[in-house]
Amino acid sequence: MLESLLPGVRHIQNIHPLTVHFPIAFLVGAVLFYGAAWLRDARALSTTAFIMLLAGAITAGVAVGTGLYAEDGVMISHSVRAQLLVQHERLMLATLGLSVFLALWALIAKPFPRKGRVVFMILCIFLLAIMTLGADYGARMVYDYNAGGDACSQPIEFVR
């Protein structure tokens, strides 16, 4: 059924690629909205940021869960697994942990902590940095080492 709705699904080894973009979008959006809320001291922006942070933490959990489930089936060499997949996994687990921590902090001090706001924002920026680095490791596995199966066949023929 999923393949009739999303024909590209037949090319992927597992559903992990379908889940990874949601936490990226939500967490980047949350940090941008928190930054705007701080600059403008706007409650509506803080509330939007809070909702996006919660959505980002939840979808990060889904992405990490599908990634851990798919890990054994990823067809890459032992060296690529050691150099890229292990680093990707560690960084994305850290992303999940930090996003949950920030979401809990924001939940307690709804919607945007006043006390420790500078630390909160520094941690938000750090969250984006580790998430971006982790995503880069994942992209390198897919595009440099064909970890996506026939989703990205090698070599790629380019035609003008």
User: What does the pLDDT look like over 51-83, one tens digit per residue?
Assistant: 999 999 999 999 999 999 988 888 888 888 889
Domains and CATH numbers, the chain: 13-152 (1.20.120)
pLDDT band, residue 159 (cuts 50/70/90): low
| pTM for the full predicted model | 0.87
C-alpha 123: how far from chain center: 16
Q: Distance between CA atoms of 31 and 130, rounded to whole angstroms?
A: 14
- The label of the residue with tokens 């803080």 reads 46
Is the model's pLDDT at 146 over the cut of 80?
no
Radius of gyration of the chain (CA): 18
Is the model's pLDDT at 117 over the cut of 70?
yes
